[in-house]
Every structure is written in C-alpha cells, then in structure tokens.
Structure 1
Amino acid sequence: MTDHSQQNPSQPNPSKSDWVAIATLLRPQGRKGELLSDLLTDLTDQFREGRLVTLAKKEAKSPPPDAVPVAIEGHWLPVGKNAGRIVLKLAGCDSISQAELLAGQQVMVPAAELPDLDADTFYVADLLGCTLFDGDHAVGTIVDVQFATTPDGKTRLPDAAPLLCVDLSGNTIEDADPVLIPFVRAHLESVDVAAKRIVMNLPEGSLEESE
C-alpha cells in the first residue's frame, strides 16, 4: 500500500506534470548486462517487457533533453539478501562493462504514464514540498519520505507507517533539524495536493525532539 512512488492516505492522482523515478540502478547482476536495482515503487508492472524508460543521473528531477528512451527487456525479483530489490535487463546493455557504466542512474518515466491510484493513496512526489500543518499551525515543509526497513536496510517493512521528513526552518523553532512525523491515517485530517497542504492532528510531544 505504501512505496517510493505511492503514499497513504486519500486522493487518487499524481500531478502528471513531471518525471518519476521508479528504480535506481545499483550494480551488474549477471553476465549479460543485468542490473541489480533499488525499487522505488510497489507497482512492479511498471517494469513490463517492452516498456520504454529513460535514464537520468541520481537526484536529477528529470532526464537530460537529449536522453534516448530504452526498452526493458525483462526483470525478476531476487530472493535472499537482495529481497525487496529488482533485477532489470535493459535493451543495449549486454555485458558487465556496459552495466557498470549505468550504475547509479535512475530509471524514470513520465508521471503522465503512471496509473491512477486507489483512494487513500498518494505518489510521494506529490507530497514533497507540501506544508505540514498541525491543526491550524504550520509545522514545516515536507522534504523527504522515509520507510522503515529490516535492520540490514535491504527490505522495507510493509506494515510500518511511512515517515514524513519535515524541515522546520522558517518555523518558530530556529536551527532545528528536520523532524520525522509518522504519516498515519488516524492523525490525518486532510490532504490537498494542488494546494500543497497537509493537515494532521499530531499527538502531544511529536515535535519535542526538535525544540
């Protein structure tokens, strides 16, 4: 229900105006150009054979203007120590040396090509930049969404609430580090993606570590 391109609770669609990263290429995984990759979505049908994707540098908001789309030739979900990741085979990448050149890049698709989400679900990209309110009080700006993982950091815990990383600069709390707020339905009042506004009723003490 929650992932790096989706988020919980309520609204159907992304803003449909940007690019979205669906995976990050890590390193070669095989002798024919396969790449072990970090999943940035739970929607694994996004990696169907023949799907065109575009590569971009890590942290880039979009691919360069001259980037040429490449087709996904196949994928599989590994088990064991790499469970929770994905192995991708991209067209034109047919050797270990070619795969090494792609390591570290993002696999991106236009947001307009993403499927509609179920109610009570959001794309993470739509949450970033939103102002978080505790009732009528503006807490800060959401700069990241983090997900609980197993101790080795390799596998996400699907039942754990995502954490909103909120930058408090500009708030009455000066020089505070970003604070992590669990994004749980029980504390959520409203989400307005278009207005970049999220209203929650935070439990007492939620911001104490940042004061």
Structure 2
Amino acid sequence: MVEYLTVGKVANTHGVHGELKVIPTTSDISRFDYLKIVWVEKNGKLTEYFVDSVRYHKNFVLIRLHGIDTMDKAAELKNCELKVNRKNARPLDENEFFIADLLECEVYEGDEYLGKITDVLQTGSNDVYVVNGGKYGEILIPALLNVVLKVDIENKRVQVVLPEGLIER
C-alpha cells in the first residue's frame, strides 16, 4: 500500500504572501479544514510543512504553509502534489477505498481475469473502475455493491459480476 496519499495539486500562487492555489484531488474537500501537516512532493522528494491556514475560493483550496511566505517561494511549488501520510488520512467508511490502493488491483469475474484497474473515474453518482490488460480491452466497471463483490487490497484482487451486456463474449 502507498504510504502517502495525494490530496491536491498546486495550480499556482495566490497573492504576494506565499499562499498556494490548490486543486483538490480528494473526494472530501472538508479534510483540508483538519490538516495540520502536509508533504509536498517536488522532483520525487517529499518535504514536510506545517499548515498555517486554509480557506476556499471557487473550486480551489487556498493554503498557506509555514516557511512559504513570499510569492517566489510559493512559485517554486507550482505543479507539486500535496500529500498526507496514511495514518493522518481520513477514516474510510465500509466499502470505501483510497484510489491509490485500487490502482493495479487485478479484476476477476469468477476465475476469468479481466485486467488491472488503471484509473478510477469519479462521476458523482458512483465511481467507475477503468480496467485494462485483459482480453476484452478497456472495460468501464461501475463501482456498485451489486457489481463489485469483494475488494482485497492486501492481495490486490477485486472480484466482480459484470452487468449483462457490458462486454461482448
């Protein structure tokens, strides 16, 4: 399992005092209200920062990190990802999973290998697993309880029952 989970990406600076304009990549934007520490990934290296303030503007999170107090310092973090470590991630509900944990899981219907999850589309009503690498090409599988029977993150295996007509056999 991945130790650090991405919660946002720095899109730009905001103002002259080092505030960052962040595109949230978490399904629960309110989680930013509780952030005390974030890790910024730049050039494959993680740096820990204390969060000084968080506020919201349109579809963005405006965040100020301790030590980033000028526009120039903030500009150095443009396009970097903001991450939290797993122990500080928000608790998951039953049948809820982090996208990072689902990626690369092998998907089976019975004993038939359908491919690996390469992406998860968040449509609003339900997520959709993008599965590639099997004999049917790309399959879009709705993440519904009557379709996704079992998710075993430890063994990277997902068991499904495909809806009638989803693939041609």
Q: TM (normalized to structure 2)?
A: 0.86
Q: Which amino acid aligns with 1:128?
A: L
The answer on whether the counterparts of 1:131 and 1:196 sit within 8 Å (CA) in structure 2 is yes
Q: 2:152 aligns with which of 178, 187, 192?
A: 192
Question: What is the number of residues matched between the two proteins?
Answer: 168
Q: Does 1:132 align with 2:107?
A: yes
What percentage of aligned pairs have identical amino acids? 24
The answer on whether the counterparts of 1:72 and 1:88 sit within 8 Å (CA) in structure 2 is yes
Q: Which amino acid aligns with 2:113?
A: A
Alpha-carbon distance in structure 2 between the residues aligned to 1:127 and 1:204? 24
Q: How does 1:1-211 map to 2 (within 5 A)?
A: 15=1, 18-41=3-26, 42=28, 44-48=30-34, 51-57=36-42, 64=45, 67-79=46-58, 83=59, 85-148=60-123, 158=124, 160-168=125-133, 171-173=134-136, 176=137, 178-208=138-168
The 3 A distance-change label for structure 1 pair 102 and 47 is farther
Return the structure number with greater strand share: 2
SS in 2 for 1:120: coil
Please list every run of 5 or more consecutive structure 1 residues that lacks an aligned counterpart in the other structure.
Answer: 1-14, 149-157
Q: Which amino acid aligns with 1:201?
A: V
Give the alignment's Cα RMSD to 1 decimal.
Answer: 2.2
Q: TM (normalized to structure 1)?
A: 0.70
Q: CA deviation at 1:43?
A: 5.3
Q: CA deviation at 1:146?
A: 1.8
Alpha-carbon distance in structure 1 between the residues aligned to 2:6 and 2:33? 12
The answer on whether the counterparts of 1:48 and 1:74 sit within 8 Å (CA) in structure 2 is no
Q: CA deviation at 1:21?
A: 1.1
Q: CA deviation at 1:47?
A: 4.7
Alpha-carbon distance in structure 2 between the residues aligned to 1:205 and 1:29? 49
